[in-house]
Structure 1
Amino acid sequence: MSALNILFAAVAFATAAVVVWLCVRWHRLSKTEGYKRLSARTYAWCLSFAIIPVAFGVLCLMDYYKGSPLAPFLLAAATIICAMATLHRENGKTFLRTARDFVSAYAPWDSRPRKMRAPRFLSAPAARIRKAHAARKARRDERLSAREASDGKPSAARAWLHGTFAPWAKTDLVRLAVAALFAFVSLEICWHVNLVWMNFLSRLIDWAMVLLAMGAMYFLFQRRSWGAIAVAVALYVLGIVEYFVVVLKGSVIQAGDIYALGTAAAVSDGLKFDFGGTVLLGAIALDLCFLALQRISPVVRRSAVGLDSPADASEAAAAAPTDPSATGEKDAAPSTATAPSRRTGHRVLGVVLNVLLACACAFGAWGTTHAAYAWTQFLGTKFWQPVVAYSDHGFLTSFFSMWYGMPIEVPRGYSQQKAKTIEKKLAKQYDSSDSAKTYARAKAQFDQVKPSVIFVQNETFSDLSKFYDIAYTGYTGPEYFNSMSDTLSRGVLNVSVVGGGTCNSEFEFLTGNSMAYVGTGKYPYNLYNFSKVNSLAKQFKSIGYGTAAIHPNIASNWNRDKVYPQLGFDQFLDINDFQGAPVFHNGVTDLATYQKILELIQNSDKPMFIADITMQNHTGYDKNNIPADRLTNYQLKNVSAYENAEFNEYVSCIKASDEDLKVFIQALRQLNKPVVLVFYGDHQPNISSNYLNDSVYPNEDKSSLAHQLRAFKTQYFIWANYDVAGTPAKSTNKEMSIGYLSSYMMELIGAPLSNHQKANLQTMLKMPFLTLMGYSDTNGTWRESSTELTDPSISGDSAATKAYRNLDMVQYLEFGSKVKH
């Protein structure tokens, strides 16, 4: 525990103690200085401000706070001010007089300071302001008197409107608006401080959403603040979660994450939840939100009729005349029999009216989410950089824009017949190409050999030295992986995710579909039913293969326990099959999963198709759990010591994976069964997008596609323990996209190709790379993925554009039309 955190904890606990002391002091003032006795509700509000400092103090003692040293003191000041304002709100004296009394309450009368007077240069303007206010009030009273004199009594409708809306329209509505503003700030400021540069209309839309949501809860709870408080707390908690997602994953909370809460909880054990000063700034905003909401009272107020307490009400009732003649109406009938029924009717009518207004506000909030989507669509906002988009437009506007974009869009001019025609045409073009002749030789061999096929999706595996200019550190990447010279093919692999989203890389490889046509912020495993979708497992199963999947973690991660059977896997080995297995860093070692693969192949009497999704290198590179003799010590420039330590922990994990890979390849070489191995990394670590890319290339435009793409690359290789017909003796170096990789693998080893896979291979000739980030033409020029790219006049490359449009049709035929959101 650091000394600063001990100091911050002391400040936090002292702040909470001051809040309690303020309540005790006020109670004494109410006896000695004639202050109003406050209700238990007011004291409860005041004490509630001590909750956040106490929680913060506990977290400091646990050494979780790593932020600015100024933020804790700002939180302390804001807490005390809010508590003081809460106690002062029912007092008739000025705030300055209240503060003076608090300071001198227990001092002897002779030693108390004299009455504090404002300086002359302030008193004169104040006098002018009071005079102007009195003049305005006099003119307003004159207008009202003139109106009553000319029109007589106000109409029933006007009287009802005034009686119904006046008590809250000029007070509670304003307080809700102010509270909504601070709630919006508490959500946004937690994870970024770019509020000033946010799009203005997006800011306004976000605030309107919060205001209408609070309004709906305000009316639902019969014009009380409880529901609005719940909305404010929920937004602040959401801001904290967003902060950790941005810091730990380099991403944001997206619409598809709602369906991945179980996975997020399961993999969070390896993460360290330190937080910074922006979270405390959000807490300050939340306190100010509470300060506004606490001033909202029930619509029926005793003070409105001059009653300050139940005792006053009893006295007023006792003093009221009971004789009808005392009212000046000799023939007036007693109203005691009818008053209760009238009050009950008014209450029922009020409840119904409030519920209707709550529904209206809820409908307005729902409509505002659609306005947010329309606004981002109008601006043409690209969500392939979600952190940038969320920073520009705010959390709520961006989240709901992505939510309404969740369904897979139907391609322009799509029809099933047209898509089938395009797919068949592409397949026919492939069948008549030179590649088909080479494939025919490999296919003849494959039909005889029937090798087992393994694909290893190695968690966060990537040789960062290939993508970032860090040669000065001495790091040259995974030694054995880079030394393999007898692969069938190897090279750079373009992927659609960074720092997380493992299942999307898995989805692209297993189905041959690209996330470019699915959309940003979506996780197909969590959204769709794959029973009708073609996959490699189903393809190999149809020709007599056994199918098995391995993932040494909870089976429900990314919904795999449901998706794998739908994809055609007969067997699934999860964490329960690795009891007692060795662990390194954040999970079961790679080697332990490789040993399971060898067992499955050796114990099977038929060839196997096996998917291995490793866990060892999972994110969370500040755990300090690497043995000293296996921890590297490279020194990066332009990064903090903490970030440099993260880099070395990640590199140490890759080194361990490389050593396990060497053992696995040696075992496969000695295996007496033919085997094909596809090995690749699913994505780069979050350190790439968080700071490595920016620190190595500080002069690049950080929002440019070229800069961003560097973090969306890993490596792959395809290897076999036998000589595959039609392939060169030395490794072929070929860069590609993960959506093409399975089709390319099937072609290399001569496995049966579907029309969809042939369409992928043929499209790859004109559009070599395609990911969620964008696509590339044959000249290596990248452009953003978008439905607009189907327009040749916009893309500027008719060949690549036509390939993009045709593959869009084919993928919707093979995937989009077969699943439901």
Structure 2
Amino acid sequence: MRTRVRIPSVHHGFCTVCSPSAQRARRSHGPPCVRLFHYIGNPTVRRVARRHVDALAPIEDQVAMTDAAPTIYAAIPFTALVLLVALVAAVAVRSHLTGRGITPGMILWPLPFAALLGFVGVWCAMGLVMDTCSAADLVAYSVAVGGCGAITLARRRVFHRIDELAGVASHLLRAGRDAVLLVLAAALSVAALEGSWNRVGAQIPVSFILFAVGVVLAAMVALYFLGQRTGVLPCLVAFACIAFGIASHFVLRFKSAAILPSDLLAIGTAAAVSGNYTYELSRHIIFALALFALALCLLSFIHPGRPRNRRVLGANIAGNLCACGLVVAGALGLYNSVDVEEALDFTYDVWMPQFTYMQKGVIPSFLAVLQDLPIEESEGYDADEAQDIEDAYVQSFDLTAGATEARLAAEAQFNEMKPAVVAIMNESFSDLSIYEGLRAAGYTGPAFYNSLGDTLQRGALMSSVVGGGTCNTEFEFLTGNSMAFVGSGKYPYQLYDFSDVSNLAQQFDELGYKTTAIHPQLGSNWNRSNVYNQMGFDTFLTIDDFPDATWYHYGPSDRTCYDRILQMLREDPDPQFIFNVTMQNHGGYDAGTVLEEDLLGIAPEGITDPDTLSSLNTYLACIQASDRDLEYFINELRTIGRPVVLVFFGDHQPSVGPTLNEALYPGEDAFSHSWREFVSTYIIWANYDVAGNDQVSAWDELGANALGAQLLYDIGAPLSDQQKATLATRASVTSLNALGYRGADGICQALDANSFYSSTIDDLRKMQYLNFAEKVQ
């Protein structure tokens, strides 16, 4: 069990070192105690803190929006493509005419280089190459890539010269050549990986670069032997590096994030919404592609030579496969036995991993996160003790909140009435009027939503994600578990089997309810098709069930979902639990994705960047549309003729939220500054008089993990022991998320803070390990 020491922060140019207790924290217990550089967003930027990271330069151009290079520049790579094709054709014809024949490699090896030239040419012709890439840059790229393709035509002559050598000399020469080329190709692949997205990659410490090259080299060597000592399969490693680097560039640009291991499991979801964004190639990507081409060129010259006879061929195949197995076994053994962070003496930033990726490199950082994926067992954990802790909280609940007249009256009413329960998790819905600068600019939040005065309760909802990661709020709401004790950088929907995990769908099913999940997008997003089935939902309606949907912004409108829900409630009088994850407000918030007349024209003082203002007002237009649709929905529910309970909440703030936070609240203490970004909102409402509740919109801040339990408590529905324990702990810890918690004294604390409530946090951690981790690991 390691002790993690946090990096000191920079505040107004001076070092702010945390207390010793704050320095010692385990990764899964909370965020870093400092913000080391301003949030990188689109189009705003963070600047790297100077005092403790002098090696890093400002990166304000990292994600800045630019104009496109002139489309006429496409002629440059296209010309190189034509010349390369002509050269290959000429060499092939000459080889045929001279009787040497045309080998497959003569045609196939130049193809990747032709594809690289054509790719950049097409992107440039579509206006998707940034104007930071000059004509000279494209000339250099075209010469380099075209030249590499041309050089591969010399392979045959080189191989022939080596084959002419006899005995041991030829074997030694091939082995030495292959070793050198693999090392160089691995180094070039790492350079392409970092160069395509990391503007300060040149300042990564040498030890981290060598580690990354070693990892890539190990992968290349394994595929080298698997491919029978040719350079073909190692090319896949080089391709993976450049692809990961380019993907990192766009994820940083659009999501202000780094690619984490669990993101790879969510690649289907990412692909489904990828059409929302514009993919422009930067100058750095162009140069990285040239490095990738050089790596391919080197690998093309790896060839085992001609076998003397079949017996030698068979022995070579067996030996190569054994060598591949040994390399893979050795690499896996090292991965499982060596802690990357301890070996390289660093700690990755759990809340801004992109900072660590920039400072230490993608491969060391990625592997460090990967090694932390298992849910960490709390120190001194014992299942029997955890059960005793939960039992004690359950008993406390049963004697207090569970025994009030209001609760008993609500229970009796629920058992008799069995109201329909509708849960709306509204994509990116939040009230940005919590930012004083927006209020000063005239924005007061969603009007109808804020005017509702007859809810059972309402308040701030503490999410564990911001700008993305919808499924984690969904996970917290449906299961009652908190991301605080799962760990940073994880998406439980992608990692675990929920068949044995208690959840709201299962609970309502046991009460005789029909259970339906609705998400007007692909069912594969966030693995929902599998997860909902494991949770026990009877029906899952996806985009295929909305062929005539009315779209707004980037998805079927909220009203489209609400009309389907109203139809279900009117056509089926049986008790129903309906969980709807909406889609219309999904990012990005590009100009032109909403009607011009819907834009509010909000311009907070201190926000001058036109792209930020455009994204902000596009987002606010989406929220205004959601507010109109919610008003329609609630008005319909008021007269629907059957009892219905509605819980409505936003999953997280939009990606523009952190940008506003940085601009409007400079110089704040780090934790309070971060806390604001994770504030969403919720209401619990009913169209009938709920026994024991005045329905005057009492305000209460909740963590998303407690919202489901609070919903069931308010309407008198049965509670599980886990839910009772969760509600009982709110006497001391009123709200909880992956960032920290708010104690009963009203003060927000980091999860690892040494406070009066630390014992309650430890109890919550142990109970969640009992109820969740033990069931999924």
CA deviations over 1:765-803 (Å, ceiling 9, x no partner): 222332223334444555555xxx4xxxxx322x42211
Which one is further off, 421-430 or 80-89?
Answer: 80-89
Describe how 1:552-631 pairs up with structure 2 within 5 A.
552-622=520-590, 624-631=592-599
1:656 paired to 2:625:
yes
Aligned to 1:285: 291
Describe how 1:449-464 pairs up with structure 2 within 5 A.
449-464=417-432
Does structure 1 retain, via aligned residues, the 8 Å contact 2:225–2:323? yes
TM-score normalised per structure 2: 0.81
Cα shift at 1:809: 1.7
SS at match of 1:280: helix
For 2:486, which of 513, 518, 531 is the aligned residue? Answer: 518
1:411 paired to 2:378:
yes
1:818 paired to 2:752:
no
Q: Structure 2: any 5+ residue segments left out of the alignment?
A: 1-65, 96-100, 155-165
Does structure 2 retain, via aligned residues, the 8 Å contact 1:470–1:696? no
SS at match of 1:462: coil
SS at match of 1:710: helix
1:360 paired to 2:423:
no
Aligned to 1:73: 136
Does structure 2 retain, via aligned residues, the 8 Å contact 1:175–1:292? yes
CA distance in 1, matches of 2:338, 2:591: 40
Q: Structure 1 residues 713, 5: closer, same or farther in 2, change over 3 A? A: farther
Cα shift at 1:433: 2.8
Describe how 1:312-711 pairs up with structure 2 within 5 A.
344-367=310-333, 369-370=335-336, 373-375=339-341, 379-433=346-400, 436-437=403-404, 438-467=406-435, 469-622=437-590, 624-635=592-603, 637-638=606-607, 640-689=609-658, 691-697=659-665, 699=667, 704-711=670-677
SS at match of 2:579: strand
Q: Structure 1: any 5+ residue segments left out of the alignment?
A: 31-36, 92-158, 302-339, 790-794
Cα shift at 1:625: 3.0
Aligned to 1:742: 708
SS at match of 1:226: coil
Cα shift at 1:367: 4.2
TM-score normalised per structure 1: 0.77
CA distance in 2, matches of 1:350, 1:530: 47
Cα shift at 1:273: 2.9
Does structure 2 retain, via aligned residues, the 8 Å contact 1:680–1:717? yes
Aligned to 1:120: none
For 1:226, which of 213, 227, 232 is the aligned residue? Answer: 232
Describe how 1:41-56 pairs up with structure 2 within 5 A.
48-56=112-120
Cα shift at 1:655: 0.7
CA distance in 1, matches of 2:621, 2:102: 62
Does structure 2 retain, via aligned residues, the 8 Å contact 1:38–1:90? no
CA distance in 2, matches of 1:90, 1:617: 52
For 2:122, which of 58, 68, 71 is the aligned residue? Answer: 58
Counterpart AA for 2:431: D
Counterpart AA for 1:536: L
CA deviations over 1:64-96 (Å, ceiling 9, x no partner): 2335234x63343144146447767999xxxxx
Counterpart AA for 1:256: S
Describe how 1:751-790 pairs up with structure 2 within 5 A.
751-785=717-751, 789=752
Q: Structure 1 residues 729, 534: closer, same or farther in 2, change over 3 A? A: closer
Counterpart AA for 2:133: P
Does structure 1 retain, via aligned residues, the 8 Å contact 2:137–2:283? no
Does structure 1 retain, via aligned residues, the 8 Å contact 2:646–2:684? yes
Q: Structure 1 residues 90, 749: closer, same or farther in 2, change over 3 A? A: closer
Does structure 2 retain, via aligned residues, the 8 Å contact 1:43–1:87? no
CA distance in 2, matches of 1:201, 1:686: 34
CA deviations over 1:454-497 (Å, ceiling 9, x no partner): 11100111122314633354332211112222222222211112
Cα shift at 1:2: 7.7
Aligned to 1:184: 190
Aligned to 2:161: none
Cα shift at 1:806: 1.1
Cα shift at 1:746: 1.8
CA deviations over 1:189-223 (Å, ceiling 9, x no partner): 22322313445544332221101111222233333
Aligned to 1:319: none
**Aligned-CA RMSD value:** 3.5
Which one is further off, 59-68 or 692-701?
Answer: 692-701
Which one is further off, 502-511 or 169-178?
Answer: 169-178
Does structure 2 retain, via aligned residues, the 8 Å contact 1:373–1:397? no
Aligned to 2:754: 796
Higher helix share: 1
Where relative contact order (Cα < 8 A, 6+ residues apart) is larger, the structure is 2
Which one is further off, 755-764 or 44-53?
Answer: 44-53
Does structure 1 retain, via aligned residues, the 8 Å contact 2:144–2:290? no
1:265 paired to 2:328:
no
SS at match of 2:484: helix
CA deviations over 1:253-286 (Å, ceiling 9, x no partner): 3222333333333333433333433322321221
Identity between Structure 1 and Structure 2 (%): 37
Aligned to 2:81: 16
Cα shift at 1:402: 3.0
Does structure 2 retain, via aligned residues, the 8 Å contact 1:369–1:397? no
SS at match of 1:744: helix
